[in-house]
C-alpha cells in the first residue's frame, strides 16, 4: 500500500510540474487582448495630457487620436468576436492556443498516469513482496553488493575483527574498490599479522593503484611475502618486474630466468615469464660490462645496442679504449634519440648509461628530455623516474 501511495504522490508532483508552464501560457493568452486595449487607452490619456501642455499641436493630436482609436476599435472587435457563440472559424489564433493548452492539460492529468500505470503493470512486478534493506542484507544470496554491505555493517560495530577485514579485502579488489581494498588489507595485517597472501594482496593492490608501477611500498611488501613464503612465484614475478621497470635489465633477466627454472613447464605463468626474458635479453649491456653477450630478437637490433663485432673488439681493448668506445656508443644513442625521441627503451638505456659512466648531470638531463616525450604522469614516465631513483640520481626537482 505504501508503494502505491508514494507512486500516486510522485505522479501528482510530476503532473503539477508539467502543468505549470501550460497554465502560465494560457493565462498570458487570455490577458493578451485586454492588455493591448489598456495600452491604447493609456496612450489616448497621455495624448490629451500632451495636448493640454502644449507639447503637441492640435492637428498632430487629431491624427494621433485617430490612429490610436482605429487600433483600439480593432482590438475591441476581436474581443467581441471571441466572446460570441457564433459558429465558424475563430478570427485569431488565441482561442486555438487556449484549446491546445486545455487538451495538453487533459492529457497530462488523465492519459499520462494511465500510460505509466499500464507500462508498470506490463513490465514491473507489482506482486513482489516488500524487501527492506535490513532483511536483504541478512540474506544476501549471491549479491556481491549485499555481501559487502553485510560485512561492512559488521565491521562498523566490530572494527577489530581481523577476519572480517581479511575476507573483505579481496572482495573490494574484485569490485574495483582499490582504495578500500588497501585499507582492508592493512587492517587485516595489523590485526592478524603479515601473512604471505595478505602481503601479496596488499602489494598487488598498490601496483594496480599506481597503473602497474611496482612502487617502493609494493616492492617492500613483496619482499616481506617472499620471506614468509620463499616458494612464492607471484611475489617473485613482481620483484623481477620492479627491476625491469627500474632499467636494471640484466638483474631482471636473471630474476625472470630463475622463476622460469623453478616453475613447472605447464604453469600458467610460464608464457608471461618467457616474454619478459625475451624482452630483457635484447637490451644494451651495462656500461661497466660491455663484453656481456647480446641476444638479438629476430633481425632487429635495439636502438644503440652494440653489434657482435663491437663486443668482440671491446674484449681486446684496453680499459681506456673500452671506456672511449662505450662513450661513443652512448653519444650515438643520444643523437639517435634526439632525432627520434619516441623510444622509451632508448631513454631508459641512456639514463642508466650516463649514470654508470659517472655522469650524473648528463643522466639527469637525459631524464628531463625523456620526460618531455613520456610525461611523469604516465606509466613510462614513472618507470623512468623509478629507474633514476634506483641509480641514485636526484629527481625531486624534476617531479615537483
- How do residues 176-220 score in pLDDT, each as one tens digit? 889 999 999 999 999 999 999 999 999 999 998 887 889 899 999
Q: Is the dihedral of CA 176, 182, 185, 191 positive or negative?
A: negative
Task: Tell me how far apart the alpha carbons of residues 88 and 77 are, in angstroms, rounded to a whole number.
Answer: 16
Phi and psi for 297 in degrees, rounded to 5? -100, 115
Could you tell me which residues are beta bridge partners of residue 374?
none
pTM (global) more than 0.75: no
Count Cα neighbours of 212 within 13 Å in the Cβ-side half-sphere. Answer: 9
Contact assessment for residue 236 and residue 257, using Cβ atoms and an 8 Å cutoff: no
Could you tell me which residues are beta bridge partners of residue 300?
297
Task: Tell me how far apart the alpha carbons of residues 191 and 282 are, in angstroms, rounded to a whole number.
Answer: 45
Contact assessment for residue 195 and residue 235, using Cβ atoms and an 8 Å cutoff: no
178 burial via Cβ count (<10 Å: 0-12, 13-18, 19+): middle
Q: How many CB atoms lie within 10 A of CB 74?
A: 13
What is the pLDDT at residue 72?
A: 72
- What is the Cα Rg of the chain in Å? 41
- Whether the predicted pLDDT of 154 surpasses 80: yes
Task: Tell me how far apart the alpha carbons of residues 301 and 386 are, in angstroms, rounded to a whole number.
Answer: 26
Task: Convert the pLDDT of each residue in 241-293 to its tens digit.
Answer: 999 888 888 899 999 999 999 988 888 888 889 888 988 886 543 333 333 33
- Whether the predicted pLDDT of 116 surpasses 90: no
Task: Tell me how far apart the alpha carbons of residues 219 and 203 are, in angstroms, rounded to a whole number.
Answer: 7
Residue with cell 501642455: 53
- Nine cell digits for residue 262: 623453478
Amino acid at each position: 500500500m505504501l508503494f502505491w501511495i508514494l507512486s500516486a504522490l510522485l505522479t501528482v508532483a510530476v503532473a503539477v510540474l508539467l502543468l505549470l508552464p501550460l497554465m502560465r501560457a494560457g493565462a498570458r493568452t487570455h490577458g493578451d487582448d485586454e492588455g493591448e486595449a489598456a495600452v491604447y487607452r493609456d496612450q489616448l490619456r497621455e495624448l490629451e495630457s500632451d495636448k493640454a501642455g502644449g507639447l503637441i499641436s492640435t492637428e498632430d493630436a487629431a491624427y494621433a487620436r485617430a490612429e490610436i482609436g482605429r487600433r483600439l476599435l480593432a482590438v475591441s472587435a476581436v474581443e467581441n468576436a471571441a466572446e460570441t457563440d457564433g459558429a465558424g472559424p475563430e478570427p485569431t489564433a488565441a482561442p486555438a492556443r487556449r484549446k491546445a493548452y486545455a487538451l495538453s492539460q487533459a492529457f497530462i492529468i488523465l492519459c499520462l498516469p494511465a500510460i505509466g500505470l499500464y507500462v508498470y503493470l506490463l513490465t514491473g512486478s507489482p506482486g513482489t513482496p516488500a524487501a527492506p534493506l535490513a532483511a536483504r542484507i541478512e540474506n544476501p544470496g549471491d549479491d556481491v553488493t549485499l555481501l559487502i554491505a553485510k560485512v561492512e555493517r559488521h565491521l562498523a560495530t566490530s572494527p577489530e575483527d581481523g577476519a572480517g577485514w581479511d575476507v573483505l579485502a579481496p572482495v573490494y579488489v574484485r569490485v574495483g574498490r582499490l582504495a578500500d581494498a588497501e585499507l582492508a588489507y592493512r587492517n587485516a595485517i595489523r590485526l592478524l599479522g603479515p601473512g604471505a597472501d595478505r602481503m601479496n594482496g596488499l602489494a598487488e593492490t598498490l601496483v594496480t593503484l599506481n597503473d602497474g608501477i611496482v612502487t617502493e611500498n609494493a616492492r617492500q611488501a613483496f619482499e616481506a611475502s617472499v620471506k614468509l613464503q620463499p616458494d612464492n612465484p607471484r611475489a617473485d614475478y613482481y620483484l623481477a618486474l620492479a627491476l625491469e621497470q627500474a632499467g636494471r635489465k640484466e638483474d631482471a633477466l636473471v630474476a625472470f630466468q630463475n622463476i622460469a627454472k623453478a616453475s613447472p613447464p605447464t604453469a600458467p605463468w610460464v608464457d608471461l615469464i618467457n616474454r619478459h626474458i625475451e624482452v630483457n635479453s635484447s637490451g644494451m649491456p651495462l656500461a661497466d660490462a660491455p663484453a656481456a653477450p647480446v641476444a638479438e630478437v629476430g633481425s632487429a637490433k635495439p636502438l644503440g645496442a652494440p653489434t657482435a663485432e663491437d663486443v668482440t673488439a671491446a674484449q681486446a681493448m684496453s680499459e681506456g679504449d673500452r671506456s672511449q668506445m662505450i662513450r661513443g656508443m652512448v653519444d650515438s644513442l643520444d643523437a639517435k634519440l634526439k632525432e627520434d625521441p619516441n623510444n622509451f627503451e632508448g631513454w631508459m638505456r641512456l639514463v642508466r648509461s650516463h649514470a654508470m659512466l659517472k655522469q650524473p648531470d648528463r643522466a639527469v638531463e637525459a631524464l628531463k628530455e625523456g620526460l618531455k616525450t613520456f610525461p611523469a604522469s604516465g606509466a613510462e614516465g614513472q618507470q623512468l623516474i623509478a629507474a633514476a631513483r634506483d641509480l641514485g640520481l636526484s629527481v625531486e626537482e624534476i617531479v615537483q
